[in-house]
Chains A and B, each alone.
Chain A
Amino acid sequence: MPDDFQNPHPLEPDVSKSLLPQSCQLVIFGAAGDLSWRKLLPAVYNLNIDGVLPTHFAVVGFGLPAEGHLSSDPDEYIRGRAKDGITRFSRQPLDESHWADFARALFFVPGSFNDARAYAQLKAKMEAVDQQFGIPGSRVYYLAVPPTLVGTCVEHLKTAGLIADPQELRSFTRVIVEKPIGRDLDSARDIMRVVGACFAESQTYRIDHYLGKETVQNLLVLRFANSIFEPLWNQKYIDHVQITVAEEEGLAQYDPKTGEMIATRAGYYEGVGALRDMVQNHLLQVLCLVAMEPPWSLKPDVVRDAKVGVLNCLRRMTPAEVEKNVVRAQYIEGDIQGRRVPGYRKEVRESFEVMKKPLPPESVHSTTETFVALKLFIDNWRWADVPFYLRTGKRMPKRASEVAIQFKDVPPVLFNAQPEVPLDPVVLSLRVQPEEGLAMRIASKLPGPKVHIYPVKMEFNYSSSFGGTSPEAYERLILDVMAGDATLFMRRDGVEAAWQFVMPILEHWERMHVRDLPEYQCGTWGPVEADRIIVPDGRRWRTL
C-alpha cells in the first residue's frame, strides 16, 4: 500500500515528510484508563513542551470514565485527568504557565465503545475540533483498550465513516493498536483480520513501547555503527544472552500514606500473565534486535523483515522442553522499598472488591504467572547452540531491564587457571531502564607487584553523558505514527510469528491444570526453580 507522506517536504527538501509529524488529531480510545493517565497524556504534554508537535494538533479522548468521575463538562474531565497524570508521571514537571495552552487542545467525548451514537458524537466533536484548530481531517486513533474491544472499536469507526482511504492525499487515518494483540494465536489473527478489514497495513501501527526506548534503538547503532562488535556477535564468541525485564510494581498500587489500593491492573492482568503480557511482545521484540541479521537499509519493512527472520528461527518447544526450559511462578507476600506488600492472590481478591466486580471462579486460586523465565534457542548459523535466557517478573527488587551479552571465557590457562575462582566473564550489558545506557565489564590487572585480576565496569549513561532526560518511549512512538514511520512497530507477520513461538508453552500449561505455581517473595529475584534452567548449564542469573 503506498504511503502518501513519503514525498519530500517542499520547504525542507532534504527532509522526507515521513520524518515530520503531520497535523492531526490524536484520538485516544480508553482515555479514562490507566495507560492514558500514566503514559499517553504525559507523553503528549512532553512533546508539546519540547515543541515537536505539529502546529495544528489536538487530543480527543473517548471512553467511559468510572462512575461518578465525569463532571458536567467532559472536556474539563479529561483536562483534570491529564493534569493529574502529568503531575504524577510526566518526565518534565507541570509548567503552570504552559498548561492553559496545552489544556485548550484537550477534549473528551464520553461514550461506550459499542454504542453507535457515541461514535456519531465523536465524529461531530472531531469535526468541530478540526474547524477550531485548522486540522485537515487527519486522525491517529490510539486504541488503549483491552484486546477484546479492538474489533468493536475499529468496526464502529468504519461504520461511522471515520476511516479515510489510505490513498487519500489530503489527510490520513492511522490506528495504533496496543499490545497484547490477542491472548493467543487465534485471537491475535482475529484481531488483525478485523483491523485489517478496516485499515490497510500501512495505516496500522502495532505498538510495543519497548521499541521506543533509547537503549533498544541504540542496539542497532551499537551493533551496526561500531566495527568492534559485529564480528564478535555470533556463536563463536558469545556464550549466552540474558534478557531481563524486572518490574517493581505488582498488580495493584497503594497509597503510601493510607495503604489503600488506589489502582489495579487486575481486570487486565489476571488470566493473562507474564508470558502473554511481557514475553510474547516486549522480550521477543528486544530479542529480535539483539539477534537479527544486518538489515540492508533502515527502511521500515527491511528492518521488520530482519526481525521476523529471527522469530522464524526460534526453536519451537515440545511439551518436554517446556517442562525443562520454562519456569513460571507467582509472587507471595514480601517486601518492597521497606514495606510489606501482599501476595498476588490476595491482591486479585482485593482488586475485584475494589472494582466492585465478582471474583471469577478461576481466580479464586489464581494460577496466573507473575514471573516467567525461559531458555530458548535460535536455530540459524549465527546463533547455533547459544542459549538465550529470558526472564521477567513483577514485584522484583527493583525496576530494571537489560540485555546482557556474555562473551565466552578465555581458556583456563594463564590468568584463568584457578577453577575455584574463575575470571568474571566479559559482559556487555545494555540497560533499557532505568538509567538507560550500556556497560562493559572486562578484566583488568590491579596495580601492584603481583598479578591480581579484577573486573572493572566501563559505563555509558545517557542522562549523564547527554544531559537531561531521554524522551519516554511513548513520546517517540506517537511522534513516529504522526510522521508515518512504522520502523519501530510490529508488522502482522511479526506478531503471528511471536505467538507461534509462545503457543506451545501456553498449550502445555493449559493441559497441565496445575493447582499452584512455584512461589517467590516480593522483593526477590524470582523463585529458586528459575535456577534449574540456567545453573545446570554452568551459568547464573545476573544480579541487576
Chain B
Amino acid sequence: MTEPSARSVPLGGVERELLRQMRELQGPDDRPVQRTRMANLVIYCTSQERAASLNAEIPEVVNVHPARVLLLVADAESPSMELEATVLVRPLRRGSHGFGFSEQITLTAGRGAMHHLPFAVRALLIGDLPTNLWWAAPVPPPFAGPILYELAEHAQQIVYDSRGWPDPARGVAATAGWLEQVERGGPGSWRIASDVNWRRLKYWRRMLMQSLEGVEDRGLFESAAEIRVEHGPHAVVQAWLLMSWLTDQLGWKVQAGRVEPGVEMIWRFHGPTGEPLLRIHRADDGPADIQRIRIACCIDKHDAALDLFAQDSQRLAMRIEGIDEAPRTLTLPPHSPAELVGRQLSDRERDPVFRASMSVAQVMARSLLE
C-alpha cells in the first residue's frame, strides 16, 4: 500500500476520487473495494489551525467509529469566493490488521463561500447511515447562528465540547435552553445533542457515586457543608457540569452565586439540613481537567471530609481525611479527545441524567448572571 495523500478535486468529482484513491491503496487486487463506514460525521470548524488539529484527530475518531468524514473549514480570514474540496482515503487498521478504508472530504470555504457549505454537505452525505455533526467551533452551539441548524438538518446527533468556552456562564445558561429546542423525538426524526465534556466526567461520576454509596449511611448527605472543586485551565465547565449533577443527586437547590473573576465561582445552596457552599476554583496550571474535589461533611457525627483527586493521569483516588487508610482508587482509562468523540458517535441514547444536570447548571449560571 502506498501512503495516502489528500488531493484537491472539483466538488462534482469527489465520489470518483474517493473510489480512485481506494483502488490505488488496495493495489493490484481483484477483490471488491471494502468501504467501511458506519456513520456520516460532519465536522465544523472556523480556522485552519483548528482544522490542522482535527486532521490529526480524525484517524483516531474513525478508527473507533468508521465514518465518512466531511471536515468543513469556514475560514473567515480567507477572502476566497470558492468552495474547495480535497479528498483523502486512509486505510483503517487495528494492529497490523487492515479492515477497509475511511474517507475524508475536506471542504474549505472563505468568507465569500460559506453559504455553499450546507448545500455541499447535503450532496455528500451517505443515505441510511446515522449523521453526526461535530461542532468544533469555539463558539457554543446556541450562539452559532443558522449555519448550525442548516448543517444539522439531517443529523441525529450534534456533538460539541464545552471545554474551553470563553464565557462559561453564558454558554451554560444558553445551552440548557438550546438543548430543549434542538433535541427532538419521534420515528425517523429524532435528534440528540451530546457534550464531550460530559463524557469526560464518566469516571468522576462513578467515583463519586461509589464514594457516596460507601458513606451514605454515615450521614454525609445531610451534613455536607461545602464542596470545593479544583480544576485546571479551560476545565471550568467540566467542573460545573459535574457539580450540577452532584448537587442534583444530593437534592440541593441553588440560592445564589457569585464570581471572583479568574479565580473562583461560589454558590450557596439550600440543602436538607442547611445552606451548603459550592466553590469551583481554578488552578493556574495543570491539565484541563478536574483535579480535586473536597466535600466537607460530618461522618459519624465528626467533622470530616471526602477528598477525591486525580492521583495521576490514569487513576482517580478517594480518601476520608483524618482516617489513615489507603485511598480507594479507580482506573481512569486514557481517552484522547478524538477517542471520546469516536465513542460518542455510537452512543445515541438520550441521557436523562445529562439533561437534568444541565437544568441545574442553567439555574447556577443564571444566579451568576443576575
Contact = CB atoms under 8 A, between A and B. Distances in A.
Interface string B319-354: 000000000000000000000000000111110000
A464 interface: yes
Q: Tell me the interface secondary structure of chain B in the complex.
A: loop
Contacts of B192: 421
Interface in B190-243: 190, 192
B122 A525 contact: yes
A397 B130 CA distance: 18
Contact of A419 (B35, B38, B120, B185): B185
B156 to A, nearest CB: 9
B83 interface: yes
A467 interface: yes
Given A427-B128, A523-B119, A422 B190 contact: yes
B190 A420 contact: yes
Interface string B99-143: 000000000000001011001101111011111000000000000
Interface in A431-481: 434-435, 439, 441, 446, 452, 454-457, 459, 461, 463-465, 467
B185 A397 contact: no
Nearest to B192: A421
Nearest to A248: B123
A312 B259 CA distance: 75
A441 B125 CA distance: 16
A512 B37 CA distance: 47
A211 B321 CA distance: 79
B90 interface: no
B94 to A, nearest CB: 12
A543 interface: yes
B10 interface: yes
B127 A543 contact: yes
Contacts of B15: 434-435
Nearest to A400: B127
B346 A422 contact: no
B128 A338 contact: no
B33 interface: yes
Contact of B116 (A338, A456, A538): A338
B116 A335 contact: yes
A147 B11 CA distance: 36
Contacts of A338: 11, 82-83, 85, 113, 116, 119-120
Given A446-B346, A452-B347, A464-B33, A544 B187 contact: no
A461 B32 contact: yes
A540 B128 contact: no
A454 B10 CA distance: 34
A419 B350 CA distance: 11
A155 B348 CA distance: 65
B12 interface: yes
Contact of B187 (A337, A427, A435, A539): A539
A452 B127 contact: no
Interface in A488-544: 523-525, 535, 538-540, 542-544
Contacts of B350: 418, 420-421
A544 B127 contact: yes
Contact of B346 (A336, A421, A439, A454): A454
Q: How large is the interface on A (under 10, 10 to 19, 20 to 34, 35 or more residues)?
A: 35 or more
A334 interface: yes
A400 B123 CA distance: 10
A189 interface: no
Contact of B154 (A400, A420, A435, A543): A543
Contacts of B113: 338
A398 interface: yes
A418 B127 contact: no
A397 B191 CA distance: 22
A540 B190 contact: no
Interface in B139-190: 154, 185-190
A273 to B, nearest CB: 24
A454 B38 contact: yes
Contacts of B38: 454, 456-457
Given A336-B119, A338-B83, A523-B122, A465 B128 contact: no
B356 to A, nearest CB: 15
A231 to B, nearest CB: 23
A542 B125 CA distance: 12
B30 interface: yes
A204 interface: no
Given A418-B350, A459-B35, 6 more contacts: A248-B123, A335-B119, A419-B185, A540-B189, A543-B128, A543-B154
Interface of B: 10-12, 15, 19, 30, 32-33, 35, 37-38, 82-83, 85, 113, 115-116, 119-120, 122-125, 127-131, 154, 185-190, 192, 346-350
14 contacts: A338-B85, A402-B127, A409-B187, A419-B185, A420-B350, A421-B349, A435-B15, A457-B37, A457-B128, A523-B119, A524-B119, A525-B122, A538-B187, A543-B125
Which 10 pairs between the two chains have the least Cβ-Cβ distance? A540-B188, A338-B83, A420-B185, A397-B122, A335-B119, A523-B119, A397-B123, A464-B32, A337-B11, A398-B123
